[in-house]
Structure 1
Amino acid sequence: MAEATIVAALRVLGELTNEVAKLAISKFSRLCSTYKNLEANINNIGSELRVMQGFLDGIEMDDQSNKPQVAWIKEVHELANHIEDIVSEFAYLINNQMFDGISVYVTKLFKDPKLLVDLKRIASQLLEAETRLVNLARMKERWVPTTNVSTGENSNYSNEYSYKMAISAHFIDKDQIVGIKNNSGKLTSWLNSKNLELSVISVWGMGGAGKTTLVTNVFKREKNNFDCHAWINVSQSYTVDNVLHNIIYEICKEGQKNSINTGNKDLRELKEIVVKLLKEKKYLIVLDDMWDIKAFQDIRDTFVNDHRGSRIMITSRIANVASLAPERNRLELKRLPELDSWDLFCKKAFPIERNHECPPTLKKWAKEIVSKCDGLPLALVSLGGVLSCSEKTESEWRRVHDQLTWELDNNPNLDPLKNILNLSFKRLPKYLKNCFLHCSLFPEDFLLPRKKLLRLWIAEGFIQQKGRSTLEEVAEGYLMELIHCSMLQIAKKNEFGRVKRCQMHDTVRELALSLCRKENFGLLHEDNNSENIDCSSRRLSLIKLRETFMHDVCLPKLRTFMLVDDDVLSSPLLSMVFDKSRYLTVLDLEELPIETVPNAIGDLFNLRYLGLRNTKVKSLPKSMKKLYNLQTLDLNCSQIQNLPDGIAELKKLRHLFAEVVVDPTYRSFRTCTGISLPKGIFYLKDLQTIQALESNAMVVRELGNLTQLRSFRIRNVKENHSVELCKSLSKMSFLSYLSIYASDEKEILQMEGLNLPQLQKLDLCGKLKETMLESPLFKISGNSIQTLLLGWSQLQNDPLPSLSHCRNLTYLYLKRVYEGQQLIFKAGWFPKLKRLDLVLMPNLIQVEMEQGTMASLEGIWLWELKQLMEVPKGIEHLISLKWMGCRDMPVDFGGLAEGTHQLFHFTCRVF
């Protein structure tokens, strides 16, 4: 993990390489002859760090037996953190003084002695850091053995436990295997399929999910149905030669083993032998624990297809590797159900008890421990094994539960679990490791919101620019990589099918928290004992704290502070943050009951993310203009209505959230309001998000300057704004989400001139002319729109025939859209629609679904349709329907809706 710390230090060093900063450093060096070599010193620091990073990439970081190496890595880690702090402040002081040009900057140096003193101090610290780096390099040569480099004899250390677990799986008693019956049946049917083509079958899931155990069970039972068979463990450090040698050894009959000499064969000859052995045979080969598609591609040409029903089975933790098999032959192992988890745990924890019954006195803590395992078979087996040898007392079992992170670190009986999970972490590219660890700084079972998570990663500096992609697009790619590597799990998808919330498995989270503490990456604090907090902590996430907690803590190196608890006294908290943690990058005070933000916030020169969502803050101080690095400002549901003019100086601002919900029932027309912005903000070229903005003549005129906007909400739009608003919006070639609310329900939104072919999500709330649905916005942009929310349109004609041209819709929300009495969804309409909401249509008396309409629909929401006395006609034709929700409907409607479940399988929810 120290290599990830170096990445952070190198990133901030990069901030000193832009032309303006280099010019300022040059001028500064001339003013202070003592530091005339400052630019060279900075370059030397970068060079030393890059070499150290290369060295750390090539060693086994978890080999605790090499004590000098462990101590040296800790020194590197601390120095890299120190360099990051120094350079962050140096970059800020240089860049923040450069707005008026280099000549004015030099004048400021002479007129501001404090600034000059600060620059001299930081320059001295950089020189000292370079000296320390040189000394560390010499220390490594003197004291740190290099036999553990990846090219050495211990390079397979990472795979040792994975290999041992694979062997052990072959000797598990079938009576000890739980919850595999259905999956075993699937694999058996795929193996014995009548299809005689050579086919690939894949089983994938997170480490410890039971992939090897499942496949072993099937392999042992079915292998004799094949002419020959082989079980090959493909480790991360595989070689093609070694894999081929093992295949030859496994498929040779006993009499052949000595007759085939593979010792001096080259790669071509080895492949020829494999082809010869497999030719005209029905064979079964298992490639266990494969990490890379290339491993399969390297040997694929040896797998003969003689149309005899041969099969290749692959197990992997990686989704991309699993995709080597056709989708019909892929099996993802999910968590064990609750009953199976309990059964497996009890078999291991109470091996000699009658029927493996758990004593009543232990049941509470046994249930808690099983819950921690979260359906992961290896965790259940490992913890069950540990507890089978412990005292059968409530206090002992409670201790194991409360100290699970410590047990993972220190109990050798849990090494199989720790090392299997560790292997997944070490396999991650270094650019993903910080992102993964960051996810553990949220409470257990917390659903991580995708968009916020990505913005936090960007603020932390974890995301590197790639080509023309935005940082947000790169960050989303990182998130999907973690999901495909089984390090995170999808908890919820949006209507587009994109990840909306994800989750970290409880046992994986315990591992991550252990690594966070060990590497001083961050701390999730869940108790009232401030003594557990290291003063050198870089990241702190608080869940619970007592009144005096913050008085006891000094965190001068803190980079990230996140609050996940709204029951906190604000005064000592803010005092700690602003007075003692000047290097803060992320400050998330969501739901903290504070009313003011201290003027001292301007001293947080490194701040990139400020979260004040759901607070009682009414205004921001003028010092906000000093937050030169701020990227995200989240004021949603605060009480702020105006922003200070200085916000327009925040040149790096990317996301601004400032919408207030004024009607939480969402019954009225004006449910939300936006914020008034200073004129200069329309020249912030990096802005991608504004949610939401109050409209006026100046706003709609200047809005076209924000050509990078991806997501935009505007409120209080008047009819006479429409033409200028369409003109400005049409300049936004990246806009994917647009929300427009009229000033009141009588105001007409004339958006006929708007054409945004890339738009994916559209909200229009206001009166519409009948011709609006025939405009380019729906005829052309309709091909890309996936989510459509129309409110208070008050149309006299049925809107469905026009909206049916939006064939890619996945979510359709219609509120007070139609004044008529009947809506008919005809065959073939809305083929991809997954959710339909019909709300507040006072005259609607009938809804009809023809056979073949909305073939993908999963849910219907009906709300305040006072004249709708019967369940939608033809609802039985919706073959994909899973639920129907009802609220504020006629008295008898709930009973009718509840009765529809007898017609087909779906759940009706009445509110």
Structure 2
Amino acid sequence: MAYAAISSLIYTLNQLLKPNQSLVYPCCTQQHLQSLYQTLSALQNFLDNTTKDIETLKVIEKRIRNVVYKAEDGIDSSLRSIILADREDKRQKACRSFYEELLKVEQQVYFLNKEVMLLEFNKHGSKSAELARISSSPEKSTIEENSIVGMEDNFNTILDRLTTQTDELTVIPIFGMGGIAWVTISEEYNERQMLLELVSSITGSKQETSDDELMEIVYRGLKGRRFLIVIDDIWSTKAWDQMQRTFPNDDNRSRILLTTRLKYVADYVSCPNFPPHDLTYDNWKKVEENLNSFFGTVSERCQSILYLSYNYLPQYLRACFLYIGGFPEDREINVSKLIRLWIAEQYVKARNNKRLEVVAEEYLQELIDRRLILTGTRSHTRRMKFCKIHDLLRQLCLSEAHTENVVQIMNGNDLEAIDDQRRIILLSEVEETHDYGMQHSSGIIRTFISLQVDFPERICSIVSKFKLLKVLDIISLWCDFSGVIPELVHLRYVAAN
């Protein structure tokens, strides 16, 4: 992932730019390090703020990711040679190599930034109209549209709110994971399109006129009448502010039913919203079972909807979310461990002088508020100890994490098949007798996490080949690692029993 790749390299540069840091001096000047740092920061700001369509952005991100990964490999390899040099002549030679590598990387990243900025200001690029059409116009469901499956109690509560005797205009927000509603999904709010649909519903015909006139037609068409309006999948408070001006309040028991996947939108629109509490993992399991019995597997039907929630994530949350998919299915995830790993991977950026652990907790809460992560067991102080991810969202994570080269999930005996993956999570036992013919590309592995019970002695020699390793987490270790650790000079995080 481009954003995470940049964060990792920026962290390395930050270490080298610290006062009194003499590791690479006088082999290069601070000016080159600072120049590279600023260019990478500009690329990261671009990813934070770009308005490019999804298809174009993915192409740009892949280009950035590939260049930055290669740059990081070169710099980290050169730094390792400097750190491990046992004679002054070797160190001087390693320093010269680092300087040459830095100049090459500085030039590559500079031209990459130019290339990206050129794309950003090119107003005539493809907007992937076909992709947008497919995303906003899913195939018509073959299920009867008046069927409600699961969460009957909440359905009845909403029905009561819709039919209550309160005269004033009432807004009922439904907040939850993507896919719970039945109307067209729309990620980007289009006021004119909304007005055209409302006019068509009220008058029975489409009218091409100005937005102000359309708003007047809607308002006059609803004035004095009792109405029910369903607004599905709203993504921002600004969109709601623009919409609500269109609806008259005549104290005639009119109702607006609104769905959203963002908690702050639901809270902004009305209080209370539904469901009134976080749905648990077990709740969602029951819903999935109901859906499966109703029309078979929901996986393919839901993936396109769930991808909207992922694509709408800010850049700083994407790698954090995909990383969670690496943990075993149907098992609670230790929040403290997850936060430590996020920080070690440089996914967490400093925010308002807060400790990184606090910022990481805010990240996790954002994912929970977007209904991408489920809350698990809490401590007696109500602090979250564990979290969970729904199976459908984990499938999305695994697919996207592999594509974005965030993390690769493997069985123990597949280690020899490592290709160009940078982060490996082992989910099953490794056979002590297995012959691992590790490929040369194992040298680029930055994270190695083993979630198996035992870690055989022969694996120690395998890990020693991961020369640029930064994160090492092993549940149970049965060998002497004292000769391996000093060789892994880039380690930021080590955990083992």
TM-score of the superposition, structure 1-length normalised? 0.48
In structure 2, which of residues 46, 68, 80 is the aligned counterpart of residue 80 of structure 1?
68
Contact 1:421 1:508 in 2 (8 A): yes
Residue identity in the other structure for 2:94: D
- Aligned-residue offset at 1:480: 0.4
In structure 2, which of residues 481, 490, 494 is the aligned counterpart of residue 597 of structure 1?
481
Residue identity in the other structure for 1:574: C
User: For residues 319-360 of structure 1, what are the alpha-carbon distances to aligned partners after superposition, in whole Å with 9 as ceiling and x for unaligned?
Assistant: 2222235444422666667676456435535xxxxxxxxxxx
In structure 2, which of residues 170, 176, 179 is the aligned counterpart of residue 199 of structure 1?
170
CA distance in 2, matches of 1:491, 1:141: 43
Residue identity in the other structure for 2:12: V
Contact 2:175 2:259 in 1 (8 A): yes
Cα distance change of structure 1 residues 160 and 4 upon mapping to structure 2, 3 Å threshold: farther
Asked if 1:212 corresponds to 2:163, the answer is no
Cα distance change of structure 1 residues 159 and 295 upon mapping to structure 2, 3 Å threshold: farther
Deviates more, 1:285-294 or 1:544-553: 544-553
Cα distance change of structure 1 residues 178 and 273 upon mapping to structure 2, 3 Å threshold: closer
Counterpart mapping for 1:842-853 below 5 A: none
In structure 2, which of residues 292, 310, 319 is the aligned counterpart of residue 345 of structure 1?
292
Asked if 1:8 corresponds to 2:17, the answer is no
Partner of 1:574: 460
Cα distance change of structure 1 residues 584 and 48 upon mapping to structure 2, 3 Å threshold: closer
CA distance in 1, matches of 2:372, 2:477: 31
Q: Over alpha carbons, which structure has the higher Rg?
A: 1
Partner of 1:398: none
Deviates more, 1:290-299 or 1:178-187: 178-187
Contact 1:41 1:127 in 2 (8 A): no
3-state SS of 2:344 partner: helix
Contact 1:582 1:604 in 2 (8 A): yes
- Aligned-residue offset at 1:46: 4.3
User: For residues 473-529 of structure 1, what are the alpha-carbon distances to aligned partners after superposition, in whole Å with 9 as ceiling and x for unaligned?
Assistant: 100000001111111111222222232210111121122111222222221112523
Partner of 1:50: 42
Gaps of 5+ in 1: 30-35, 98-108, 217-232, 350-379, 383-413, 616-911
Partner of 1:40: 32
User: For residues 170-225 of structure 1, what are the alpha-carbon distances to aligned partners after superposition, in whole Å with 9 as ceiling and x for unaligned?
Assistant: x73168653354333222111001122222212222223xx213xx6xxxxxxxxx
CA distance in 2, matches of 1:599, 1:330: 57
Gaps of 5+ in 2: none
Cα distance change of structure 1 residues 41 and 560 upon mapping to structure 2, 3 Å threshold: closer
CA distance in 1, matches of 2:117, 2:248: 51
Partner of 1:289: 233
Q: Taking every aligned residue pair, what percent have the same amino acid on both sides?
A: 28
Partner of 1:558: 445
- Aligned-residue offset at 1:610: 1.4
Partner of 1:445: 330
Asked if 1:324 corresponds to 2:268, the answer is yes
Contact 2:35 2:106 in 1 (8 A): no
Counterpart mapping for 1:223-622 below 5 A: 235-250=186-201, 252-254=202-204, 257=205, 263-266=209-212, 270-331=214-275, 341-342=288-289, 344-349=291-296, 380-382=297-299, 414=300, 416-526=301-411, 528-534=413-419, 536-544=420-428, 545-549=430-434, 551-554=436-439, 555-569=442-456, 571-577=457-463, 579-594=464-479, 596-612=480-496, 615=497
Contact 1:586 1:610 in 2 (8 A): yes
CA distance in 1, matches of 2:266, 2:467: 47
3-state SS of 2:181 partner: helix
Contact 1:482 1:488 in 2 (8 A): yes
CA distance in 2, matches of 1:110, 1:611: 28
User: For residues 612-660 of structure 1, what are the alpha-carbon distances to aligned partners after superposition, in whole Å with 9 as ceiling and x for unaligned?
Assistant: 2xx3xxxxxxxxxxxxxxxxxxxxxxxxxxxxxxxxxxxxxxxxxxxxx
Asked if 1:120 corresponds to 2:96, the answer is yes
Cα distance change of structure 1 residues 156 and 307 upon mapping to structure 2, 3 Å threshold: farther
3-state SS of 1:529 partner: helix
- Aligned-residue offset at 1:2: 2.8
Counterpart mapping for 1:805-816 below 5 A: none
Cα distance change of structure 1 residues 245 and 333 upon mapping to structure 2, 3 Å threshold: farther
- Aligned-residue offset at 1:74: 4.1
Cα distance change of structure 1 residues 194 and 337 upon mapping to structure 2, 3 Å threshold: same
3-state SS of 2:425 partner: strand
- Aligned-residue offset at 1:448: 0.9
CA distance in 2, matches of 1:138, 1:323: 42
- Aligned-residue offset at 1:564: 0.7
Aligned residues: CA RMSD: 3.8
In structure 1, which of residues 164, 167, 175 is the aligned counterpart of residue 138 of structure 2?
164
CA distance in 1, matches of 2:211, 2:375: 47
CA distance in 1, matches of 2:47, 2:303: 25
Contact 2:188 2:235 in 1 (8 A): no
Residue identity in the other structure for 1:27: P
Residue identity in the other structure for 1:484: D
3-state SS of 1:20 partner: coil
Cα distance change of structure 1 residues 119 and 508 upon mapping to structure 2, 3 Å threshold: same
3-state SS of 1:330 partner: coil
Cα distance change of structure 1 residues 489 and 603 upon mapping to structure 2, 3 Å threshold: same
Residue identity in the other structure for 1:458: I
- Aligned-residue offset at 1:61: 4.8
CA distance in 2, matches of 1:93, 1:298: 59
Asked if 1:179 corresponds to 2:150, the answer is yes
Cα distance change of structure 1 residues 6 and 60 upon mapping to structure 2, 3 Å threshold: farther
- Aligned-residue offset at 1:89: 6.2
- Aligned-residue offset at 1:449: 1.1
Contact 2:219 2:246 in 1 (8 A): yes
Cα distance change of structure 1 residues 139 and 51 upon mapping to structure 2, 3 Å threshold: closer
CA distance in 2, matches of 1:474, 1:493: 19
Residue identity in the other structure for 2:307: N
Contact 2:169 2:249 in 1 (8 A): yes
CA distance in 2, matches of 1:302, 1:134: 49
Partner of 2:106: 130
3-state SS of 1:299 partner: helix
- Aligned-residue offset at 1:462: 0.6
CA distance in 2, matches of 1:474, 1:559: 23
Residue identity in the other structure for 2:128: N
Contact 2:10 2:40 in 1 (8 A): no
Contact 2:53 2:127 in 1 (8 A): no
Residue identity in the other structure for 1:603: E
Cα distance change of structure 1 residues 234 and 343 upon mapping to structure 2, 3 Å threshold: closer
Contact 1:540 1:561 in 2 (8 A): yes
CA distance in 2, matches of 1:563, 1:189: 51
Cα distance change of structure 1 residues 192 and 5 upon mapping to structure 2, 3 Å threshold: same
User: For residues 771-827 of structure 1, what are the alpha-carbon distances to aligned partners after superposition, in whole Å with 9 as ceiling and x for unaligned?
Assistant: xxxxxxxxxxxxxxxxxxxxxxxxxxxxxxxxxxxxxxxxxxxxxxxxxxxxxxxxx
- Aligned-residue offset at 1:81: 1.3
- Aligned-residue offset at 1:531: 4.4
3-state SS of 1:297 partner: helix
